[in-house]
Structures are given as C-alpha cells and as structure tokens.
Amino acid sequence: MTKPQDLMPLHLMRFGFQILLLGIISVCAWRRASTTEVRGAAIMALMLAASPVYAAISEVAGRMTQLDVGYFVIDASILVLMLHLALTSQKWWPLWLASAQLIAMLSHVVRMLDADYAPLAYALMMRSPSWIQLLILLLGVLSSMRWKAHPRAS
C-alpha cells in the first residue's frame, strides 16, 4: 500500500504538469508557428527553468513570509524579455503575456510595501500568472498555426 510520504508532493506534480504543457506547446511552436511563438516559448522555458535552479541553491526560496529577492530578480528579468517580445512583435498575444508577468512582478512590490501581506496571497499572486501565460502562449501558437494554414489574401 502506498504511504502519503511516498507520493510526489503536489507542488512537484503541478510543476511537472507545467513542464509537460510547455513542452507540448513548444513543439507545436517550433514545428508549425512563427518566430514570435518560438521566442515566447523559449522565454517561458527560461522562466520555468530558473525557478527550480534558484530554489535548489537558495536557503530562503519559497518562504512567503518576506520578499524573496531571487524570485524578484527572475520575475523582473522575464518581464523585460516579455516586454521586448511584445514591443518588437506585430502580434496581440505577447502583450498579454507581458501583462500576466507584470502581475507576478507586482506581487513583489506589494510584499515590499506591506510586510503583513498574507503569505498565501503573495504566493498565489506570484505563481498563478504562469498558468495564464501558458494559456496565452497556447492561444498564440494556435493562432499562428491557423494563420499559416489559411493565410488571408493581401
């Protein structure tokens, strides 16, 4: 009989599911979408790869009782990359991607301004946008694939 301690922790299962989704979206982007979608998938992969690396080398990663400077730096860097993608692209979805990242970035600002900010709210505001970003990236890839399959006459 399987004991609860033998099961994979829920946060690792969620992260694994995110990696799986991003992998599927990335393959579709690389095979059938345009450069913008491939760059978006690469930025998302960088974001999802940076977080566990930081968590592995940091003693304070994951403590939601104070501002986490490491995640702040990761989120700020990813925001800059996403804003660059949004400003250099002619597509609608990169701006939405950057907007979701801005929400994650603002979680750190709120934590800096209010030390009594609920740890659960900080964690949700910091982590939830990545799920929204996966959906936005998927919509961008599907839109590009559809456009490539049926280009409009000029």
pLDDT at 141 over 90: yes
What is the per-residue pLDDT for 154? Answer: 42
What is the per-residue pLDDT for 15? Answer: 84
* 20 band by pLDDT with thresholds 50, 70 and 90: very high
Q: Which of 20, 44, 32, 45 is nearest to 143 (CA)?
A: 32
What would the DSSP string read from start to end of 56-110? HH-SSTT-TTS--HHHHHHHHHHHHHHHHHHHH-SSSHHHHHHHHHHHHHHHHHH
Mean pLDDT value across the chain = 86
How far apart are the C-alpha atoms of 106 and 123, rounded to whole Å?
A: 12
**pLDDT digits 0-9 by tens, 69-92:** 888 999 999 999 999 999 999 999
If one compares 134 and 15, the residue with the highest pLDDT of the two is: 134
Confidence (pTM): 0.84
Q: What is the mean pLDDT of residues 139-143?
A: 95
